Amino acid sequence: MEFLIEYGVFLAKAITIVVAIIVVIGALANLGNKNKKSTEGHIEITNMSEDLEEVKDGMLEELLSEDDYKALQKEKKKEEKAKEKEEKQRLKELKKQQKQNKGSNDIEKADDVSNDDSSAEEKDSVDSGDEQNKEQDKEQDKGRLFVLNFDGDVEASAVENLREEITAVISAADNCDSVLIRLESPGGMVHAYGLAASQLTRIKAAGLKLVIAVDQVAASGGYMMACVADEIIAAPFAVVGSIGVVAELPNFHRLLKHNKVDYEQHTAGEYKRTLTMFSENSDTARTKFKQELEETHELFKQFIRDNRPALDIDKVATGEHWYGIQALELGLIDDIKTSDDFIVDAAKSSDVYEIIYEVKKPLAQRLSFSLQSAIERAFLSVWQKSLESRLFK
């Protein structure tokens, strides 16, 4: 018993010293980063097509015999060479066609004014050839799919990273490319999710197709974001909807009055404050507060009408939520599919890239997070052992 007490004292001292060292290092790091931006970050790009191909190749290597696997790899290399040859031939034909078009244009310019009619016909033929070439190029270009992630909280704080990711995609994408947002959010503050939805409209304004995938939940503000998409897909039991507005707050007026505590609030403007936490609320204030909620709800509904005009908004804007299968029947989504299925299908015909904006956290923040995680793991371990002792003792 004495040994355990001594060990406990030693452990407490050790932890105290470690915490003190971390605090000192954190303070020094803060001083060093005082004049630096704390939000410096960078874009990370992951080729998901290559990752999927590696997974597939690894599975086949394990499942097939050595001879079958070698034969498959040989066939794969043969197909790749054929594609490269086909692409080179296409580019060669394209250059040849461009030279012919250029020669036709030069001849057209050298023609006499009396041949205006025939020149016009030749010009139309050349323009038609250019259009055909453009169409062929468009068909040959399989496009790219950019995958972004949004994990929403009440404040929609992930919008800071989302705006950087969208800017990066727009700066490099072509009209034949598309964007998939893997969206998870139970909703939150109106103005925060309004900004997040506005960020998504930038993708459509750039001429890119936007698909929103909901694997678990897109409710309230989350659905406000989702409805911006050209297409919404969801897992069968993903939670969708909750098109409503809610506000709630406690009132401590009677508690303060019981303890003889006075609370004063002074405003300029009749409705600068309506319901409060510490004053006695009037029926007039409640009516005004309710009116503001209704106005916000109406704005919410109008936003959805503008983005999904075919949806019967009055039927679904009741504050209820539905599972994916039910949401499809109501028109809240367009298809039942997980984001994984969508990505795997897209990778068959497109190059798929995941775009993540990573923020470099200050050393002090990283250390404090590590310390917090270590403490949480320690307490969790103790709690689990205590639980096990009660269950199996």
Amino acid residing at 242: S
CB-based contact 213:339 (threshold 8 Å):
yes
For 168, residues 6+ apart whose C-beta sits below 8 A from its C-beta are 43, 355, 357
Q: Name the burial class of residue 116, with classes exposed (0-12), middle (13-18) and buried (19+) by CB atoms within 10 angstroms of its CB.
A: exposed
Report the distance separating Cα 242 and Cα 229, nearest Å.
18
Residue 36 among the catalytic residues? no
DSSP structural state of residue 115: G
DSSP-based three-state secondary structure for 231: strand
DSSP-based three-state secondary structure for 132: helix
Residues 187, 169, 90, 105: is their CA dihedral positive or negative? positive
Residue 220 among the catalytic residues? yes
Residue with tokens 């055909």: 132
DSSP structural state of residue 185: B
Report the distance separating Cα 232 and Cα 333, nearest Å.
5
* Cross-strand pairs, 195: none
Report the distance separating Cα 145 and Cα 49, nearest Å.
10
Q: CB-side exposure of 378: number of CA atoms within 13 Å? A: 7
DSSP-based three-state secondary structure for 142: coil
Exactly one of 49, 178, 220, 242 is catalytic; which is it? 220
DSSP structural state of residue 280: P
φ, ψ for residue 226, nearest 5 deg: -60, -35
E strands, 194-267, where? 209-214, 217-219, 231-234, 239-241
Report the distance separating Cα 98 and Cα 388, nearest Å.
77
Exactly one of 34, 109, 260, 272 is catalytic; which is it? 272
Which residues are designated catalytic? 220, 272
